[in-house]
Amino acid sequence: MITLLPSSSLPPSEAAVADRQPAARIRPSGAGPRRVFVTGKGGVGKTTVACATAVWAADQGLRTLLVTTDPAAHIGNVLEAPVGDGVAPVEGVRNLWAVRIDAKVTTAAYIQAVLDEASLRMGAEGIARLREELASPCTEEVAVFQRFLDLLLADAYEVVVFDTAPTGHTLRLLELPLSYERQLQAKVWTSEESRAVDAAQTERMRCAFEVMRDGTRTSFVLVVYPERTPIAEAGRAWGELDGLGIRTAFVVCNQILPEEALSNAFFRRRRSMQLEHLESIGATFPGVPVLPLGQRTGDVRGLDALRDLAWELYGEASIQDRSNERRKAGG
Amino acid sequence: MARQLLFSGKGGVGKTTLACATAVRFAQAGLRTLVVTTDPASNVSDVFEQPIGEGPVPIRGLNGLFAAELDAESALRAYKARALAPLEGVLPEDVLRSLDEQMSGPCTSEIAAFDQFVARIDDQGFDRVVFDTAPTGHTLRLLELPGAWVTHIDAVAAVGGQTCLGPADALAASREQYERALESLRSPRSTAVILVTQAERTAIEETERAHAEMVSLGIAPRMAVMNGRIPAEVADNAFARARRAMQDEQIAELSRRVPIPIVEVPLLDSDVTGIKTLERLGDHLAPLLELAAV
């Protein structure tokens, strides 16, 4: 297995090597809980990587919370254990708790709150437009992240893994001094109460940003697969976060063809193409470690499959061992 | 018989390659054909192995084939500038910054791109036009609302902040142009919308959602394309056989969720670049070509 690392003319110091190991970016580094955001476009494998990461952390003896936005039926199948709307232990894994945030319900509540407030000063036509604008996917991101904030800022767990992450756009929106609702009232914004609410929100976001920008406390893990469009899109997403001072801890490149698939020239050529894309990921994300993850025959289900995946990502081989493997493989 | 084809689907499923492969076939059948893309990273120049630009530019190696890139980023910048200029000095600075950010998301980019795209619909300079993207239901519904076309500044200021659309008179297209475009999208004699997907759970769920959304707007997608199908002849190991069987199930699942024909397009052993490779894909696209009477 090849692990691609940023090129360097000097051998990395031991401390730098230990720091770059993905496992080190999942464990807490001593300054409170480790938050892990797994980010990437739909269909790349975020939920699978998030679940495997959470199970792995729990298996290391770390008190771990998995926060998921996936539909209940699917996450239940992945973990082969039910996950509900309240924090509860996950059957079959010590040290692991999970909570499911229903994105649709959360978004509907958020939209209703905005519309209720707006109806105090808008006519029917304005409300109709506002309702349609609020139907955008961006609203869901804002609403879900607002729910995440409490879990992000809490300290009851050693590791908290989120199976989705806010985009740069969502974060910039929330960072601005006026929340969406408030700027509707911009011309009449004089009440103490509304200023107090906004000040509390601003403070929450400031704390959240401090946590997210601190690489010792938060890891953003970007999942892609080895094709041009997903890599380009991920590159843009990474650039947005980078512009906010949020670094990517490592990239997971999913769907890599395993050895057993290479029985004919067709798959050998595809694998070759995938390796070229893997190399290009290094150029798209300078300085960010890239981990290949093998394609499976179907959806990942059950703890055995998740632990197998986690071993591929976080197995404790040192970076030096992996470099040796790569040299032996002629890479 | 549709004169224009729109390919809809989430990023990475293969819209651009399929749009280009279809366009190649049209051109080879003697039809003057234009490929239009709004992709900011424009894959079309990679696929045709030549620079494109605003165009339309002729594609080397094939008579009658042209391509045009709608510059989505400059469209967005112009759109925001038009939207915010009248509000300078009218709304407080921090509200303006908030509005600017509200309009910097993917939805506004889409509206700005669609605004440009409206001008290209029913372009009579070509026999066939192929778009490697399609507007979402969200964009279409937003632009359908009467408020989208209000131009009075006071009305805008009274409504206050907006999200995706922004204060209304940023739209360059007129209401009439928009309505003609929507009529064209709804008419099977003008347009065929094709949903592109892959054998993966979230892609299929997204396809079902997009189908329902378009139907609710009076636009009936005509076909779905399941891209990346493992050819039977290369499934000579257990891994490939298992994945192909999984794809069989996903196709069956898709057919339960959308009432339209599903065309399978094979996985290739390389990236799709160049006319020769596009021709290989074209071998599988007969049902799509029939939509445009080719």
pLDDT tens column, A293-323:
999 998 899 999 999 999 999 986 434 444 4
Determine, for residues A297 and B243 on separate chains, whether the beta-carbon distance falls below 8 Å. yes
Q: Which residues of chain B neighbour A297 with C-beta distances below 8 Å?
A: 239, 242-243, 246
- Give a yes or no: residue A9 inside a domain: no
pLDDT at position B164 is 56
Task: State how many domains chain B has.
Answer: 1
pLDDT reading at B71 higher than 80:
yes
Rounded to the nearest angstrom, the gap between the alpha carbon of residue A278 and the centroid of all alpha carbons in its chain is 20
Task: Convert the pLDDT of each residue in A141-184 to its tens digit.
Answer: 989 999 999 999 999 999 999 999 999 988 988 877 655 445 44
Give whole-number Cα distances, B19 to B24, B132, B281, in Å: 9, 5, 11
pLDDT at position B109 is 85
The confidence band for A194, taking pLDDT boundaries of 50, 70 and 90, is low
Partner B, chain A 184-203, Cβ-Cβ below 8 Å: 184-187
Question: Alpha-carbon distance A232 to A238, whole Å?
Answer: 10
- Mean pLDDT in residue range A177-201: 54
Residue of B267, B265, B250 lying closest to A267 (CA atoms): B267
Question: Alpha-carbon distance B203 to A125, whole Å?
Answer: 35
The confidence band for A133, taking pLDDT boundaries of 50, 70 and 90, is confident
- Cβ A19 vs Cβ A286: under 8 Å: no
Q: Which residues of chain B neighbour A233 with C-beta distances below 8 Å?
A: 11-12
Side by side, which strands form the sheet with A88-89?
A: A88-89, A96-100, A64-68, A159-162, A34-39, A218-224, A248-256, A290-294
The confidence band for B34, taking pLDDT boundaries of 50, 70 and 90, is very high
- Cβ A65 vs Cβ A87: under 8 Å: yes
pLDDT reading at A11 higher than 60:
no
* Least confident span in A96-100, B107-111, B214-218, B230-234: B107-111
Determine, for residues B201 and A232 on separate chains, whether the beta-carbon distance falls below 8 Å. no
CA-based nearest distance A112→chain B, Å:
16
More confident: A318 or A212: A212
Task: Name the pairing type of β-strands B57-58 and B65-69.
Answer: antiparallel
> What would the two tokens of residue B79 be?
């759109």
pLDDT at position B107 is 84
Candidate from A132, A138, A269 with C-beta closest to B269:
A269
Task: Please work out, in degrees rounded to the nearest 5, the angle formed at the alpha carbon of residue B210 by the alpha carbons of B171 and B127.
Answer: 65
**Backbone torsions φ then ψ of B2, nearest 5 degrees:** -90, 140
More confident: B54 or B194: B194
Mean pLDDT in chain A? 84
- The CATH number that applies at residue B28 is 3.40.50.300
- Which secondary structure element, helix H or strand E, spans residue A113, and what is its range? helix A103-118
- Cβ A111 vs Cβ A147: under 8 Å: no
Question: Alpha-carbon distance A186 to B94, whole Å?
Answer: 9
**B236 is in which domain, residue-wise?**
4-291
Task: Convert the pLDDT of each residue in A44-90 to its tens digit.
Answer: 999 999 999 999 999 999 999 999 999 988 999 999 999 999 999 99
**Cis amide linkage into residue A89, ω under 30° from 0:** no
Question: Alpha-carbon distance A250 to A289, whole Å?
Answer: 5
Give whole-number Cα distances, B226 to A298, B173, B203, B250, in Å: 17, 34, 10, 9
Question: Alpha-carbon distance B119 to A135, whole Å?
Answer: 26
Task: State how many domains chain A has.
Answer: 1
pLDDT reading at A106 higher than 50:
yes
CA-based nearest distance B15→chain A, Å:
10
Q: Which residues of chain B neighbour A184 with C-beta distances below 8 Å?
A: 160-161
**A311 is in which domain, residue-wise?**
14-328
Buried b (16+ CB within 10 A) or exposed e, B156-178: beebbbbbbbbbbbbbebeeeeb
Using CA atoms of A102, A105, A107, A108 in order, give the dihedral in degrees to the nearest 10.
Answer: 170
The confidence band for B162, taking pLDDT boundaries of 50, 70 and 90, is very low
Candidate from A184, A230, A260 with C-beta closest to B11:
A230
- Give a yes or no: residue A263 inside a domain: yes
- Give a yes or no: residue A284 inside a domain: yes
- Name every residue whose Cβ is closer than 8 Å to that of residue B46 and which is 6 or more positions away in sequence: A228, B273
Place of tokens 């601005």: A176
- Name every residue whose Cβ is closer than 8 Å to that of residue B223 and which is 6 or more positions away in sequence: B192, B194, B195, B260, B261, B262, B263, B287, B288, B291
Question: Alpha-carbon distance A267 to A289, whole Å?
Answer: 26
- The CATH number that applies at residue A34 is 3.40.50.300
pLDDT at position A318 is 39
- Mean pLDDT in residue range B100-106: 84
The confidence band for B217, taking pLDDT boundaries of 50, 70 and 90, is very high
Residue-level length of chain A: 331
* Least confident span in A97-101, A210-214, A221-225, B121-125: B121-125
Top-ranked range on mean pLDDT: pick from A10-19, A183-192, A291-300: A291-300
Residue of A114, A129, A125 lying closest to A184 (CA atoms): A114
pLDDT reading at B65 higher than 60:
yes
Q: How many CB atoms lie within 10 A of CB A312?
A: 16
- Mean pLDDT in residue range B99-109: 84
- Mean pLDDT in residue range A244-257: 95
> What would the two tokens of residue B251 be?
């196709």
Partner A, chain B 187-226, Cβ-Cβ below 8 Å: 198, 200-203, 206
Q: Which residues of chain A neighbour B102 with C-beta distances below 8 Å?
A: 173, 180
Question: Alpha-carbon distance A81 to A74, whole Å?
Answer: 10
Its pTM stands at: 0.89
pLDDT at position A137 is 84
